[in-house]
Every structure is written in C-alpha cells, then in structure tokens.
Amino acid sequence: MNDFQTRLRDIALLLPGTEERNDEGKTAFTVEGAAFVRLDQAEPAFSVRTADGWDTVDLSTNTDWTMIEDRIARSWELAAPAELLEAGGR
C-alpha cells in the first residue's frame, strides 16, 4: 500500500462499522456490506458513493485532505444504516 492508500484507509476505518475488503488488487471499504469507498491499488485515485452513483477523485491533482475526508464521510453516510447514523457517525 502506498502513502495515499494508507491515508485513505486510515480515514475510512475511523468511521463506525467500516470493514475493508480486498479482491484482485482492488480495495473496498464497506459498512453493513455496502461499499462507500473503492480504490484500485494501481491508480492514484479512489471512488466514493454519491446520491447518483460513484464519483472518482484523482489524487494526482487533488490532495486537499480536508475535502477528501469530507467526501469519504458523506459517502459513508449514504451507505450506512440508520442505526449508525443515529449513533453519531462522524
């Protein structure tokens, strides 16, 4: 895992109920089985769940980590069950 992937992993795993799943060079972070962050270990980018599907964030041009943390948290909120949202989430 490179530096940006490690940082993404650390951010995602701070959110309640998050699990990491790895499959054939791809990593997904899930909550209750629903993916909210996906990354391909060969690319400096990751995808987050949005209300309309998935959005890719290119880390080769965007390293505003405050914005990235917010995007991941919002993505988690879209995937998390109500019980976790009510428990405080982030």
Lowest mean pLDDT among 1-10, 46-55, 79-88: 79-88
Q: What is the DSSP code (8-state) at residue 15?
A: S
Q: What is the model's pLDDT at position 32?
A: 95
SS3 8: helix
Residues 32, 33, 34, 36, CA torsion sign: positive
Report the pLDDT value the prediction gives residue 89, as an integer from 0 to 100: 53
Residue pair 65/72 in contact (Cβ under 8 Å)? The answer is no
End-to-end Cα distance, the chain: 25
